[in-house]
Amino acid sequence: MQPDRRSFLIAGSAAMIATTTEAGDNVGQESAEKLIAEHVEKVRPLEIAAGKAWWEANTTGRKEAYAKKEATQNAIDAALADKAVFTRIKAAATHPKLDEKTKRQLHLLNLAYLEKQVDPELLKKMTAKSNAVEQAFNVFRAKVDGNEMSDSEVRKVLKESTSSEQRQKVWEASKQVGAVVEKDLLEVVSLRNEAARQLGFKNYAALSLHLNEQDPDAVLKLFDELDELTRKPYEHAKAEIDIKLAAKVGKKPADLMPWDYQDPFFQESPAVFDADLDATYRNVDTLKLCREFYRGVGLPIDDVIARSDLYEKAGKSPHAFCTDIDREGDVRVLANIKPNEYWMGTMLHELGHAVYSSKNIPAAVPYLLRGEAHILTTEGVAMQFQKFSKSRAWLEKMGVTVENPKAFDEAAAKMLRNELLIFSRWCQVMLRFEKALYEDPKQDLNGLWWSLVEKYQGLKKPTDRNAPDYGSKIHICSAPVYYHNYMMGQLFASQVHHALCKALYNADPKTVLYIGDPNVGKFMTEKVFAPGRSLPWNDLLKHATGEGLSAKAFAKDFQS
């Protein structure tokens, strides 16, 4: 085997074909198809093997499975780093007579290969530094009065301690990790920027958005719109929360400090509206409800359930995810179901991913396009279905008896509203901070972080605080420039739901429950699932709803 020589020769011929742009031949099309077929032939078995190894690792915890997953992932990365193939892809894409599907596949290949073209030495340094930060996070324990505290102990104190002084101490101690990782984190940022510049981008945030087919200005404009439309509802919700919190901790609402909000970042809703949604779920067969619901909307998931691993066992990952192993219908869910609201919502969520997969994308769609359009569109679909776990009307129509309907309604509606609004303000902070961080890592980042927290979350900066608190959020290191996708997924969920309600029911989106209506599955399949990645995410949204992504539908959900 002489792979280098072979790809060199083909690279040469592809470049020549690309420059002969005379009309009347389909050599460019044929050569592009060949190039795509070669890539798929090489990478597809690796992707399937990686998927299977990942599944085994997470369901059993076996070390060999993790090692196998890592080795296959390395092989995929090595394939995508192939400069000769990358050159051929770029050349092939310039041919003027390609059909739409081929053009789209070449574009996606171009992005996938571009990401891996970073100088290997630089890549090694980046990985080493970010591993160092992650490791520091893993071993860090907040130290209070000489005692070490785990993350969950910190959360417990923030939630349950009645002493403001104690909460402050613990909150401050938990932020210490920022100072521990600050230096390494800033080096990671600078290495990432260097890599981005090598690839022709002004900074890492710009590169990262480009790789995700997102335009920085458009994303920012969307978040401005979101800010505008949610500011009032957020202020209203927070005022209500503040009154409850203040009463709980014995302060005036105006005196509340960041350590009074239960979550170290105030990214989640504090538990102040005491409602036991779980009481209703104690006797519910979560799986049966999911099965019946998805079958009723014309998107049966029995085959997925049969392949899934759904209950706790030794060595297994405690989380939940859905994976499409082969893009030929082998779709599985990992979960750890318990009879409570959290797992009902989580199962509706994961099965939402499951129906938006090769199960419902026609086999005629090429392998490279046979998946979700974007991470935000699949998260959106998952969240669209997840929300029903907090709907009393949905539960009752599914045959579940809700013990105290009025209390459930009030609490669930408030919880959902607070969760979404609080999370949206937190995402504003993350998006804007990361953008500014990569644009100018030498600015006063401590000050910037708190000015955003004050502006968007409405929290008060502790007097004289000057610490790298941004560094205490691990995602800035481990999932950079990614957070906004969660929020955009929520906007997508609302927008698709509203469009579906209009098309099928012409009814108030708040009242539509989907139950027993196969037209829901038909709408979702035709409008959202079937195109796979053939369309970029925003074009898919136009196809599904008639317009590009906006915050309008999401904001409407908060108008009473």
Asked if 381 is part of the footprint of Zn ion (rule: CB under 5 A), the reply reads: no
Asked if 142 is part of the footprint of Zn ion (rule: CB under 5 A), the reply reads: no
Nearest CB to Zn ion, comparing residues 485 and 545: 485
Closest of 430, 422, 425, 321 to residue 378, by C-alpha = 321
Least distance to Zn ion, CB of residue 495, Å: 17
Nearest CB to Zn ion, comparing residues 144 and 348: 348
User: Judged by CB under 5 A, which stretch of 139-147, 269-277, 376-384, 552-560 contacts Zn ion?
Assistant: 376-384
Least distance to Zn ion, CB of residue 333, Å: 11
Least distance to Zn ion, CB of residue 427, Å: 15
Least distance to Zn ion, CB of residue 379, Å: 5
Which listed residue (382, 437, 496, 524) binds Zn ion by CB under 5 A?
A: 382
Give bridge partners of residue 147 from the DSSP assignment: 144
**CA–CA gap between residue 399 and residue 407 (Å, rounded):** 19
Nearest CB to Zn ion, comparing residues 184 and 372: 372
Least distance to Zn ion, CB of residue 371, Å: 14
Least distance to Zn ion, CB of residue 353, Å: 6
**CA–CA gap between residue 25 and residue 539 (Å, rounded):** 30
Nearest CB to Zn ion, comparing residues 154 and 381: 381
Asked if residue 492 lies in contact with residue 376, where contact means CB atoms within 8 angstroms, the answer is yes
Asked if 493 is part of the footprint of Zn ion (rule: CB under 5 A), the reply reads: no
User: Judged by CB under 5 A, which stretch of 263-271, 301-309, 375-383, 396-404 contacts Zn ion?
Assistant: 375-383
Pairing of strands 331-334, 321-324: antiparallel
Least distance to Zn ion, CB of residue 78, Å: 29
Give, in order, the Cα–Cα distances in Å from 72 to each of 66, 226, 305: 10, 40, 27
Least distance to Zn ion, CB of residue 171, Å: 29
**CA–CA gap between residue 62 and residue 48 (Å, rounded):** 18
Closest of 416, 417, 454, 463 to residue 432, by C-alpha = 454
Least distance to Zn ion, CB of residue 374, Å: 13
User: Judged by CB under 5 A, which stretch of 275-283, 310-318, 374-382, 386-394 contacts Zn ion?
Assistant: 374-382
Least distance to Zn ion, CB of residue 307, Å: 18
User: Judged by CB under 5 A, which stretch of 178-186, 233-241, 381-389, 436-444 contacts Zn ion?
Assistant: 381-389
Give bridge partners of residue 332 from the DSSP assignment: 323
**What element of type H or E holds 332?**
strand 331-334
Which residue reads 């998952």 in tokens?
382
**CA–CA gap between residue 24 and residue 27 (Å, rounded):** 9
Least distance to Zn ion, CB of residue 319, Å: 11
**What element of type H or E holds 142?**
strand 142-144
Nearest CB to Zn ion, comparing residues 382 and 453: 382
**CA–CA gap between residue 432 and residue 194 (Å, rounded):** 21
User: Judged by CB under 5 A, which stretch of 46-54, 266-274, 366-374, 379-387 contacts Zn ion?
Assistant: 379-387
Nearest CB to Zn ion, comparing residues 386 and 472: 386
Asked if 376 is part of the footprint of Zn ion (rule: CB under 5 A), the reply reads: no
Asked if 331 is part of the footprint of Zn ion (rule: CB under 5 A), the reply reads: no
Least distance to Zn ion, CB of residue 276, Å: 26
Asked if 245 is part of the footprint of Zn ion (rule: CB under 5 A), the reply reads: no
Least distance to Zn ion, CB of residue 389, Å: 14
Tokens of 549: 């992504």
Give, in order, the Cα–Cα distances in Å from 371 to each of 321, 325, 349, 450, 518: 16, 11, 17, 39, 22
Give bridge partners of residue 322 from the DSSP assignment: 333
Nearest CB to Zn ion, comparing residues 31 and 267: 267
**CA–CA gap between residue 128 and residue 150 (Å, rounded):** 25
Amino acid at 265: F
Least distance to Zn ion, CB of residue 304, Å: 15
User: Judged by CB under 5 A, which stretch of 187-195, 245-253, 382-390, 471-479 contacts Zn ion?
Assistant: 382-390
Nearest CB to Zn ion, comparing residues 142 and 382: 382
Nearest CB to Zn ion, comparing residues 382 and 524: 382
**CA–CA gap between residue 450 and residue 433 (Å, rounded):** 10
Asked if residue 48 lies in contact with residue 55, where contact means CB atoms within 8 angstroms, the answer is no
Nearest CB to Zn ion, comparing residues 264 and 380: 380
Asked if 431 is part of the footprint of Zn ion (rule: CB under 5 A), the reply reads: no
Q: Give the other-Cβ count within 10 Å of 59's Cβ.
A: 17
Tokens of 291: 């099965």
Q: DSSP string of 170-223?
A: HHHHHHHHHHHHHHHHHHHHHHHHHHHHHTT-SSHHHHHHHHTT--HHHHHHHH
Nearest CB to Zn ion, comparing residues 232 and 319: 319
**CA–CA gap between residue 75 and residue 16 (Å, rounded):** 29
Closest of 241, 363, 444 to residue 436, by C-alpha = 444
Nearest CB to Zn ion, comparing residues 195 and 524: 524
Total of residues contacting Zn ion (CB under 5 A): 1
- Residue nearest Zn ion by beta-carbon distance: 382
Taking the alpha carbons of 171, 177, 180, 182 in that order, is the dihedral positive or negative? negative
- Residues lying near Zn ion in the complex (CB under 5 A) are found at 382
